[in-house]
Amino acid sequence: MTDTTARIVTSYGKVYIVELADGQRLSASTRGKKTDYACGDRVAITVLNQEQAVINKALERQTLLYRSDQWKSKLIAANVTQIIIVVAPVPSFSDELIGRALLAAAEAGIRPLICLNKCDLPESEQARARLAYYQRYAYPVVEISAKQDLSPLRPWLAGQVSVLVGQSGMGKSTITNALIPDANARVNEISQALDSGKHTTTHAQLYKLDETAELIDSPGLQSFGLAHVAAEDLPRLMADFVPYIGQCRFANCRHRQEPGCQVTAAVASGDIAPGRLELLHRLQDEIYLAKNNY
């Protein structure tokens, strides 16, 4: 038995696959009932034999992504440095999901990137116009057609551990498959070798795209609850609200009916999109509800 460190490259929820520095992969279980590890985690392990290891603890995390609602929170991925929010002209995308993902990224200290896919479609002009709002507030947008040409995305992936999020139908699988042509084949091969097909639902999987770029693919990562964020922190995490922080007449302004509210004034003058203020209000309510249920 040897103690060493490794990286979690596959999470099945309770069982993991870890990769050692030399590329060797082992099936890894945890001590006791502990399952608070995530794909992308660097972990201290004890190697038991040629195939198996035990995870002792997670090393310090740079970032941690988890999904939370009023009832529970679940780890999704660790050490992610970039969230790529995939949207498309068809089917129409939701500003709600973009807003939530941008907030989750800001809260976790992760760089966001909005990726407009299916740019080969004529409807992309309208989608581009909608995304201009986010670009105005310095959220980066990259345009691709996953079916034809993915190359504009490549420079954004360099040096990053990225995850793709987005509503279904936006093209996440198409992008993943284009980036990792043999993704499915590889997952099955490893799963069969290490688990004899026991844990068929993969919670998250880390792929090396090249020397510096990694992608964590997680089917569970379609949207975020933000119940763990403090309501007062919300405006600070939304770039279009930042200029108005501290400008309202009341320090504890919730930006609703209060007199002297500079945020509602900014909505009236067209500087903040009404949908963004509605999102802020919805999130305030959600967070309030979550707090009162705990």
- When asked if residue 168 is in the footprint of ligand GDP (CB under 6 A), the reply is yes
Of the candidates 65, 68, 27, the residue with the CA atom closest to the CA atom of residue 45 = 27
Q: For residues 255-284, which are near Zn ion according to CB under 5 A?
A: 255, 261, 263
Q: Does 173 bind ligand GDP (CB under 6 A)?
A: yes
Under rule CB under 5 A, residue 248 binds Zn ion:
yes
In whole angstroms, what is the distance from residue 123 CA to residue 120 CA?
9
Residue 89 binds ligand GDP, judged by CB under 6 A: no
Token representation of residue 125:
């002009």
Instruction: Compare residues 131 and 170 and give the one whose CB is closer to ligand GDP.
Output: 170
| Cα–Cα dist 24/195, whole Å | 15
Q: Phi, psi at residue 47, to the nearest 5°?
A: -80, 125
Closer residue to Zn ion in complex, CB, 199/255: 255
Minimum distance from CB of 91 to ligand GDP (Å)? 9
Beta-strand (E) ranges in the chain?
Answer: 2-11, 16-19, 25-30, 42-47, 52-58, 64-68, 73-78, 82-87, 111-116, 141-143, 161-165, 204-208, 214-217
Cβ atoms within 10 Å, residue 57: 12
- Which C-beta is closer to Zn ion: that of 53 or that of 253? 253
Given Zn ion, ligand GDP, none, residue 171, with its beta carbon under 5 to 8 Å by kind, binds: ligand GDP
Residue 195 or 233 with smaller CB distance to Zn ion: 233
Q: How far is Cα 49 from Cα 249, in angstroms, rounded to an integer? A: 65
Greatest alpha-carbon span in the chain = 68
For residue 253, state whether it binds Zn ion (rule: CB under 5 A).
yes
Spell out the residues 6+ positions from residue 71 whose beta carbon is closer than 8 angstroms to its own. 293
Task: Considering only residues 121 through 160, tell me which ones interact with ligand GDP, judged by CB under 6 A.
Answer: 121, 145-147
Q: How far is the CB of 76 from Zn ion (least distance, A)?
A: 33
How far is C-alpha 230 from the geometric centre of its chain's CA atoms?
A: 19
Contact range with ligand GDP by CB under 6 A, out of 6-14, 124-132, 172-180, 229-237 = 172-180
Q: Which does 253 bind (CB under 5 to 8 A by kind): Zn ion, ligand GDP, none?
A: Zn ion
CA triplet 89, 101, 81: central angle to 5 degrees? 110
- Say how far residue 65 (Cα) sits from the centre of its chain: 6
* CB-nearer residue toward ligand GDP: 89 or 99: 89
Question: With contacts defined by CB under 6 A, how many residues of the chain interact with ligand GDP?
Answer: 15
**Is residue 7 within the footprint of Zn ion (CB under 5 A)?**
no
91 preceded by cis ω (within 30°)? yes
User: Residues 195-234 vs Zn ion: string with x where CB under 5 A?
Assistant: ----------------------------------------
What is the Cα–Cα distance from 164 to 215, expressed in whole angstroms?
8
Shortest Cβ 207–ligand GDP spacing (Å): 15
118 binds ligand GDP, rule: CB under 6 A: yes
Q: Find the shortest distance in angstroms from Cβ 12 to ligand GDP.
A: 21
Name which position in 39, 170, 238, 279 contacts ligand GDP (CB under 6 A): 170
Among Zn ion, ligand GDP, none, the one that 227 touches (CB under a kind-dependent 5 to 8 A) is: none
Tell me which residue of 221, 138, 132, 133 sits closest to 176, measured CA to CA: 221
Measured CA to CA, the distance from residue 103 to residue 233 in angstroms comes to: 10
Q: Which residues make up the interface to Zn ion (CB under 5 A)?
A: 248, 253, 255, 261, 263
